[in-house]
Amino acid sequence: MFISNAYAQATTAGTAADPGMMGNLTTFAPLVLMFVVMYFLMIRPQQKRAKEQRSMMDALAKGDEVVTAGGLLGKVSKVSDAGYVTIEVAPNTELVVQKSAITTLLPKGTLKSL
């Protein structure tokens, strides 16, 4: 007597004014925005650095002054096609290292003792 019947309201699916569709877009917007920000702050700079590292390793030549990952400074005396580089760290002292172990290419004239 005191309680009336409640009936469901009919929906219009697929219209542009549908608040349900706009609700779905606003739900995923922060997630999409987070991936875009993560791409520009983390992924893109890492790919750029890797590309610079590859081009530096490909451009290694005899006489270049380099720093290895272990902190050794030396002058390139031989570049092998197999991915190895021979560096001279002191007079008559040469080490063979992988190209990937070379982290920095120094400006010419940095190492004056060799």
- 36: in domain: yes
Question: Do 99 and 67 reside in the same domain of the chain?
Answer: yes
Q: How many CA atoms lie within 13 A of 95 on its CB side?
A: 15
Question: Do 50 and 79 reside in the same domain of the chain?
Answer: no
Each residue of 57-91: pLDDT tens digit?
Answer: 989 999 999 999 999 999 999 999 889 999 999 99
Question: Do 51 and 66 reside in the same domain of the chain?
Answer: no
Q: Per the structure, how many domains does the chain have?
A: 2
Question: Do 51 and 65 reside in the same domain of the chain?
Answer: no
Domain of 84? 61-106
Q: Global pTM?
A: 0.62
Instruction: Please report which residue ranges of 11-63 form alpha helices under DSSP H.
Output: 19-38, 44-58
Per-residue pLDDT at 70: 94
